[in-house]
Amino acid sequence: MIKVNTVDQLDLRGAIVFYRVDYNVPMEDGRVTDTTRIEETLPTLSFMREREARIVIAAHLGRPKGQRNEKYSLKPVRDTLAEMINVEVQWADDCVGPDAVAKAKALPPGGVLLLENLRFHAEEEKNDPEFAKQLRELADLYVDDAFGGAHRAHASIVGVAELYEPSKRAAGFLMVKELDFLQKITNVSERPFVAVLGGAKIAGKIEPLEAMIKLADHVLIGGGMANTFLAAKGNALGASLVDAESLPVATKILAANERAKLHLPTDLVLGDNVKAPTKVRIVDVGSEIASDEMAADIGPKTIESYAAILSSAKTIFWNGPMGVFETKEFSAGTLAVAKAVSHAGAISIVGGGESVEAVNESGYADRISHISTGGGASLEFVSGEALPGVEVLRVG
């Protein structure tokens, strides 16, 4: 089991804390549309404020590619956070430099300062040592709750953390929660263990797929990923999304004699357009599919069989939707899986942006054991990859 220093082991009183979070939240018309990632940091934030720490919050938003771009400013996040904690949140127009340092040092006990987007500096993603030193000037202690970025060796995640003595850097409560739950997958003891994997492509999920085939008792495949497996088995799928480059990988996985039983859809929901279909029908796998039709969801027979397998599970890991769930005609599979996962009475962990959206939309989010804030990070973790942002916090 991974052991890390935790925020409650730090001497916080009066100290300035560099608090790295994942506030890479959905935005629309300059406002935050989903506050989940902010909400998840509030226990750590409250704990530090109660102990009169002075908190400098650092985060990134979007992909500004190392350039200042107001579209990716964290100012709307500052406003949302201030409302949520009912405290004035100070603002620094840059994440480094004399102004940011002065504002950090001027914070009163329990005060909060939010820095502008770290990724306005190209040095952040390059883990530049000089940039890390500038970040280090801001605070006495380092606390990391940005599990969503833990798979990235960036300056605010690794470079600056390494500049603090081990006794002065720690994981926040969210990071600890993520690690505790995800280790229930990598060290699974409650079986049957069912993994549900979906999304558009196999590419980017090869390692998690191979890991789940070795770890799980059942692996349920949906989404565009399922199309690629079905194509590898010789099925003609019309205009369906098929990850052609991953066909050899799919063939290899199908042929592997590993622990898990791999389950593929037995029927599909087809449409002539994934966003605004004018023609929708359900067919069994192996049926003829027209050249202008595409598979966009799992069908009712597959839903029934997947739900039956999930009903007996003791541990569940789900990443990726079963179809184009944003379109009403193709949402049934994903929403049915969300319901089955929530009703299984199992330790259930959902990771990945689209899966999280689907669970929230289904109305069953409060029945899921843990909804991970890190899609890519959670996938890499369950694949057995060492995450740089976790390794730098490890003890023992």
Q: Find, among 68, 58, 49, 31, the residue nearest to 139 by Cα.
A: 58
Does residue 193 sit in helix, strand or coil?
strand
Q: Give the pair of three-digit tokens for residue 148.
A: 């969503």
- Structure-block tokens of residue 262: 């791999």
Kindly tell me the sign of the dihedral angle through the C-alpha atoms of 129, 132, 134, 140: negative
Catalytic: which of 136, 152, 201, 339? 201
Active site residue 376: yes
Catalytic residue, from 199, 320, 333, 353: name it: 353
Q: How far is the C-alpha of 272 from the C-alpha of 278, rounded, in Å?
A: 7
Residue 7: CB atoms within 10 A of its CB come to 25
CB atoms within 10 A of CB 70: 9
Active site residue 136: no
CA dihedral 114, 116, 121, 126 (to 10 degrees): 30
Active site residue 201: yes
3-state secondary structure of 166: helix
- Which of 66, 110, 238, 376 is flagged as catalytic? 376
Among residues 20, 37, 103, 119, the one annotated as catalytic is 37
Pairing status of strand 267-271 against strand 294-298: antiparallel
- Catalytic residue positions, numbered: 37, 201, 353, 376
